[in-house]
Amino acid sequence: MEDIESREDVRILVEKFYEKIRQNDEIGHFFNETITDWEAHLEKLTDFWESNLFFKSTFTGNPKRAHIKVDQAFGEKITNYHFGIWMNLWFETIDELYSGEIAHRAKTNARKMSVHLFLGIYKARSK
């Protein structure tokens, strides 16, 4: 199995991963009810992960702010459990497609980001 080596590899990973997310009974609704233009969203996520994995400056945006808005739209109901499902699907998808240093970095960075994003959500809550 090859490692993640290019933007196209990142795009494949992002597309396969979000196919799983959209079908997931426990977290799919957060995405399916929020995202109206999936093609644009997948492009933005490809930019994000390309920037994150290959240290390129293709991504612009504020993931923490975006996640806080989603949590608020869903009545502040996103939990660490939901992030755990996200992480399990992310790791599963990487393991199905890739192996190597960059694949490992994608897992490590996602783990760190999930903690950072959830803490940001939690701090922003009204309760």
Say if 103 falls within a structural domain.
yes
Say if 20 falls within a structural domain.
yes
Two tokens, residue 9: 């590899």
Burial group, residue 77, by CB count within 10 angstroms (0-12, 13-18, 19+): exposed
Say if 112 falls within a structural domain.
yes
Mean pLDDT over the full length of the chain: 96
H/E stretch holding 42:
helix 38-54
CA pair distance 79, 59, nearest whole angstrom: 26
In one-letter notation, the amino acid at residue 52 is: N
Give me the number of domains the chain comprises: 1
Say if 2 falls within a structural domain.
no
Two tokens, residue 4: 């993640």
Say if 107 falls within a structural domain.
yes
Say if 1 falls within a structural domain.
no
Q: Which residue has the tokens 């959830």?
A: 118
Say if 48 falls within a structural domain.
yes
pLDDT value of position 127: 66
Which range marks the domain in which residue 15 is found?
7-124
| CATH number of the domain bearing residue 99 | 1.10.490.10
Q: DSSP 3-state assignment of 50?
A: helix
Say if 101 falls within a structural domain.
yes
Task: Count CB neighbours of 65 within 10 A.
Answer: 10
pTM above 0.75? yes
pLDDT band (50, 70, 90) for residue 126: confident
pLDDT surpasses 90 at 58: no
